[in-house]
Amino acid sequence: MKKWRRPSWKTVIGVAIATFLLVVIGLNFVGSEKHVLATPTHLYGVRDPAFERVVGSLLGPPIVRGNRVDTLVNGDEIFPAMLEAIRSAEHTIDFETYIYWKGETGRTFARTIAERAKAGVRAHVLLDWVGSQSMDEDALSLMRDAGAQVEIYHPLRWYTLARLNNRTHRKLLVVDGRVGFTGGVGIADEWTGHAQDPSHWRDTHFRVEGPVVAQMQAAFEDNWIKVTGEVHHEPRYFPAIEPREPGVGAQMFLSSPAGGSENMEIMYLLAIAAAERSILLEAAYFIPDDRTVEALLQARRRGVRVDVIVPGPVNDAKITRYASRNQWGMLLSAGVSIHEYQPTMFHCKVLVVDGYFTSVGSTNFDERSFRLNDEASLNVFDTTFAARQAELFEQDLARSRTYSLQDWQSRSMKERVYESIASWVSSQL
């Protein structure tokens, strides 16, 4: 019989490190504990006071009235408005974003923030570690040297390994606690222009005034506290804000694996379940899970029009396109209309239900946004605002190609294989 030998200390350490890494990887790929098992049924419409009570009490902050929300279309409108607000800052600038890439746009934002920081404005910038990997180092140094406090969300450190898959995907800018911005835009040259060619992306962002800006400030503070431990509670961050007249009802809705990770998906499910006439969805990344698929199918069985616009041939993540198409068969068979935007990358994130309820912000229609990322969406309760988003939807629709059930059924074997493989990792996309 072969004599047993005690493993060397090198082997023991090697096994321990390998085990540790496997555990860390497992923690990153396993989402939060699932609580939502059934798709909500239709009990009321989005105009019913019950819907507002549920969304404002069960899941999120209360709906507050008297807000103004301006729609900004593409970089030619978005970036000048954001930069003007930063230049006007007298007390505070609070800026959180996922994407901050190298290029002239990033340098312009850095210079503008630095100028106000030098003038004595308290500037706080929170950047996601993954999304800012390609950022110009000189832009980072410019802001810090000017006195702006720049922090990185979940950088690669030994003590953050179990949270590396949790990214902040929020796009928030709040100036003087009175003016806020949110939407889908990243800080990169790809968002400049007016979606005129494949190098200039299509997106929508929103400028906000009114009492809901305090909720946007609180949304920024949520992650700032996690990263720094600092609590900003001075009046300059939360000034008294008079309602705007006429104004709209709104709430700033948050989700995070640290608390309420499934709230965003539940909110989407409740909005879809409340639909009685139409659902218009613009989704940069559309990978519905079983519950959201069933919610859309139930809406169709109620006779609700369901139209979805997704990216087409110009796509920054081909794997998400394959993972998305793997789910389309049931939806197309039920009469859901899916349209692929043709001119450039389509990065909008807008949901409009029955011409009244609109949700805009950073949230994608996929499991990563619903369970793994920190997200922030502005929910607006107003017919005029919804009508503007519906108008933009129709404009985007005119530049899209409708993907038919026949298209789906006739796709090649190669495409089917790619879609099947992509679906295995759909929860991470």
Per-residue pLDDT of 88-125, as tens digits, reads 999 999 999 999 999 999 999 999 999 999 999 999 99
Compute the average pLDDT of residues 374-379.
Answer: 95
Choice among 154, 171, 205, 339 that is catalytic: 171
User: Is residue 20's pLDDT more than 70?
Assistant: no
Examine the residue annotation and report whether 91 is marked as an active-site residue of this protein: no
pLDDT at 22: 47
Listed by start position, the domains of the chain span 33-428
Examine the residue annotation and report whether 124 is marked as an active-site residue of this protein: no
Least confident piece of the model among 23-32, 136-145, 278-287, 341-350: 23-32
Choice among 189, 354, 366, 396 that is catalytic: 354
Per-residue pLDDT tens for 185-238?
999 999 999 999 999 999 999 999 999 999 999 999 999 999 999 999 999 999
Q: Between the CA of residue 120 and those of 106, 123, 152, 398, what are the distances in Å?
A: 21, 9, 22, 47
Q: What's the mean per-residue pLDDT of the chain? A: 90
Quick one: pLDDT band at residue 331, thresholds 50, 70, 90? very high
User: Is residue 346's pLDDT more than 60?
Assistant: yes
Contact between 329 and 319 under an 8 Å Cβ cutoff? The reply is: no
Examine the residue annotation and report whether 396 is marked as an active-site residue of this protein: no
Least confident piece of the model among 118-122, 165-169, 261-265, 313-317: 261-265
Buried-exposed string 284-315: b where 16+ CB fall within 10 A, e elsewhere: bbbbbbebbbbbbbbbbeeebebbbbbbbebb
Examine the residue annotation and report whether 339 is marked as an active-site residue of this protein: no
pLDDT at 257: 79
User: Is residue 16's pLDDT more than 90?
Assistant: no
Token pair 């019989």 is found at 1
User: Is residue 284's pLDDT more than 60?
Assistant: yes
pLDDT at 246: 87
Residues contacting residue 357 through CB under 8 Å, at least 6 positions apart: 46, 51, 271, 274, 351, 379, 380, 381, 386
Quick one: pLDDT band at residue 25, thresholds 50, 70, 90? very low
Choice among 124, 154, 169, 339 that is catalytic: 169
Give me the percent of the chain exceeding a pLDDT of 70. Answer: 89
pLDDT at 367: 84
Choice among 124, 200, 232, 347 that is catalytic: 347
Q: What fold is seen in the domain 33-428?
A: Endonuclease; Chain A (3.30.870)
Give the residue among 174, 163, 143, 171 at the shortest CA–CA distance from 27: 163
User: Is residue 19's pLDDT more than 50?
Assistant: no
Examine the residue annotation and report whether 171 is marked as an active-site residue of this protein: yes
Choice among 124, 154, 200, 349 that is catalytic: 349
Quick one: pLDDT band at residue 356, thresholds 50, 70, 90? very high
Least confident piece of the model among 83-87, 114-118, 151-155: 151-155
Choice among 94, 128, 176, 396 that is catalytic: 176
User: Is residue 275's pLDDT more than 90?
Assistant: yes
Give the residue among 230, 224, 279, 295 at the shortest CA–CA distance from 256: 224
